[in-house]
Amino acid sequence: MRVLVGVTGGVAAYKAAEIIRILVESGHEVRAVPTANALRFIGVATLESLTHNSVHSELYSDVEDVRHVEMAKWADLILVAPATASFLARTVSGLADDLLGNVVLATKAPLVLAPAMHTEMWQNKATVSNVAKLRERGIRVIEPAVGRLTGSDSGIGRLPDPSYIVQSALSNLVPKDLAGKNVLIIAGGTRENIDPVRFIGNRSSGKQGIALAEEAVARGAMVELVAANFSYYSPEIETTEVVSTSELISTLEHRESNFDFVIMPAAVADYRVEHPSENKIKKGAAGEELVLTLVENPDVISLLSKRLRIANPKVVIVGFAAETASETALIDLAKGKLIRKELDMVVANEVSATLGFDRDSNEVVLVGPDFEHTVSGTKRAIAKAIFDTINR
Ligand code: PMT
C-alpha cells in the first residue's frame, strides 16, 4: 500500500521516524510530508533515509510538477502523526496554506489523524469541537494516550505507541465485517499463589489474545479483553486484568452474556494450591521437602459455554489446545476438547520452549467438527484466519 505520512510541528514528531520504519518494514511504500514547523523537530535527512524517497514540504518549489495533486492521487492512505491542535483546526476549515494542507484537501484517500498535545489543549472546547467535526466527516482521529507529556506534567494528549498508530491507521482499510458484533477474548496465563510472594504460573504473554482483540476491532467489532497477568491499553478495547483462575471465573460471571464470539487462548492453571500460606514460606521451615497439595480448578470455558449458550444459542465459542504432541496426536487431542468442552472450534497449538508462548508468530491447526486447516504466520495472521473461519 502507498502511505503518505504527514508530520506536523510538535515534540512527538520524532516518533514519526518509528512510524515510517514500521510501515516500510511491513512492506508499504511511504512518502513523508513534514510541515515547516515539523522540520524544527525532525530533519529531512531522517525522513528521506527512512522512506527511501525525497521529502518536500514547500508548496512553491518545483511548481510545474503540481506536487500536491500528484501526491494526493498517489496515496492509498494519508496518516498525519503527530497532528497538532493547529493542524486539526486548519483541516476543519479546509485551510490549504502549505504542501500538507493542499495534499489533504486534494486527496480522495482515507485520512487518519493522530493528535498529540497538552491535556488542556486537547480538552479545550475548540479542539473538542474540531475533533467532533472531523469525525462527522468520516476522518479517523485516533485518541491520544494518557501519560507523560513534554514537561513534568502527565495526562491525556500523548502520541500513542507508533505500532498502535500504524495498526490503527491500516485497520481503516479493512472491511468492517464484524460491525455490530460483540467479541470476548480471554488471554494470558492465570497464576495460583503459593504464598504472598510466590506463584505457580505459565509462559503465556497474552500476545495471541491482543492480536485477536486488535483484529476484531479493526473489523468493526465491540471488543472486551480479559487479560490474565499482562497489561494492555487501547481506547477501543475494554480490558479487565485478572490474576488467578478464581478471579477470572468471578470476572466472567459478572459479564454480560450477549456475545457473538468468545475466543479463549488463555493458559488457565489446571490446579491451584489448596491452602496458600498467608505469610512468606521460610526456607527450611518445612524441612528438606516442601509438599504442596494442589486441587483441580474448574474448566472455565466449559462453564462459560453452558451459560452463554442459554443467553444466545448462536454464540460461537473457540478454545485453544496447547499440546506437546506430533501433528496427528495434536489434532486428535483438539477433537477431544472440541466435544468435551462443547466448543465450535479448537485452535490446536503445538507448544515447546521455542513454539507458541511469548512469540510474535505461531503455527496452529484450526479444528472444527468437519474441518482441519493449518495456519502459520504472525499471531495477527492467525487471528485473521480464525475470524475468517468463524464469521461466515
Ligand atoms: O499468550 P501467548 O504468549 O501469545 O501464547 C499463546 C498460547 C500458546 C497460550 C495459545 O496459543 C494457546 O495455545 N493457548 C491454550 C493454552 C492452554 O492452556 O491450553 P489447554 O489445552 O490447557 O486448554 C484448552 C482450552 O481450555 C483453552 O482454551 C483454555 O483456555 C481452556 N481452559 C483450560 C483449563 C481450565 N481450567 N479452564 C479452561 O477454560
pLDDT in tens, 170-194: 987 788 899 999 999 999 999 999 9
Evaluate: CB of 8 within 6 angstroms of ligand 1.
Answer: no
Ligand 1 centroid distance, CA of 101 (Å): 49
Is residue 202 annotated as part of the catalytic site, yes or no? Answer: yes
> Residue 291 class from Cβ within 10 Å (0-12 exposed, 13-18 middle, 19+ buried)?
exposed
**Of 52, 42, 5, 34, which is closest to residue 170 (Cα–Cα)?**
5
Pocket test for ligand 1, best of 226, 245, 301, 330 (most atoms within 8 A of CB): 301
Evaluate: CB of 265 within 6 angstroms of ligand 1.
Answer: yes
Tell me the average pLDDT across 146-159. Answer: 86
- The reported pLDDT for the residue numbered 66 is 76
More confident residue, 17 or 67: 17
Evaluate: CB of 267 within 6 angstroms of ligand 1.
Answer: yes
Q: In this prediction, what percent of the chain has a pLDDT beyond 70?
A: 99
Residue range 87-115, pLDDT digits in tens: 999 999 999 999 999 999 999 999 999 99
**Whole-number Å distance between alpha carbons of 200 and 325:** 23
The beta-strand segments (E) located in the chain are: 2-7, 29-34, 77-83, 111-115, 140-141, 145-148, 154-158, 182-188, 192-195, 198-200, 222-228, 237-242, 261-264, 271-273, 294-296, 316-323, 345-350, 361-368, 371-378
Residue range 130-150, pLDDT digits in tens: 999 999 998 999 999 998 887
Residue range 43-92, pLDDT digits in tens: 999 999 999 999 988 877 777 667 889 999 999 999 999 999 999 999 99
Q: Check: CB of residue 181 under 8 Å from CB of residue 222.
A: yes
Nearest CA to ligand 1 atom 33: 268
**Of 86, 127, 104, 116, which is closest to residue 16 (Cα–Cα)?**
116
pLDDT of 153 higher than 90? no
Residue range 224-281, pLDDT digits in tens: 999 999 999 887 899 999 999 999 999 999 887 789 999 999 999 999 999 999 999 9
**Whole-number Å distance between alpha carbons of 321 and 379:** 15
- The reported pLDDT for the residue numbered 190 is 98
Q: Check: CB of residue 117 under 8 Å from CB of residue 144.
A: yes
> Residue 267 class from Cβ within 10 Å (0-12 exposed, 13-18 middle, 19+ buried)?
buried
User: Where do we find the cell 475470524?
Assistant: 387
Q: Give 98's contacts (C-beta < 8 A, 6+ positions apart).
A: 35, 36, 57, 59
Q: Give 65's contacts (C-beta < 8 A, 6+ positions apart).
A: none
**Of 115, 95, 118, 114, which is closest to residue 105 (Cα–Cα)?**
95
What rounded mean pLDDT belongs to the chain?
93
Tell me the average pLDDT across 363-370. Answer: 96
Q: Which of 30-34, 136-140, 207-211 has the lowest mean pLDDT?
A: 136-140
pLDDT of 369 higher than 90? yes
Atom of ligand 1 nearest to the CA of 230: 1
Q: Check: CB of residue 298 under 8 Å from CB of residue 339.
A: no
Which of 172, 202, 349, 362 is the catalytic position?
202
276 cis-preceded (ω within 30 degrees of 0): no
Provide the pLDDT confidence category of residue 344 given band limits of 50, 70 and 90.
Answer: very high
- The reported pLDDT for the residue numbered 287 is 80
Atom of ligand 1 nearest to the CA of 296: 36
Q: Domains of the chain by range and CATH?
A: 2-173 (3.40.50.1950), 182-390 (3.40.50.10300)
Tell me the average pLDDT across 16-22. Answer: 97
pLDDT of 151 higher than 80? no
**Of 211, 140, 169, which is closest to residue 361 (Cα–Cα)?**
211
Ligand 1 centroid distance, CA of 170 (Å): 29
Q: In this prediction, what percent of the chain has a pLDDT beyond 90?
A: 81
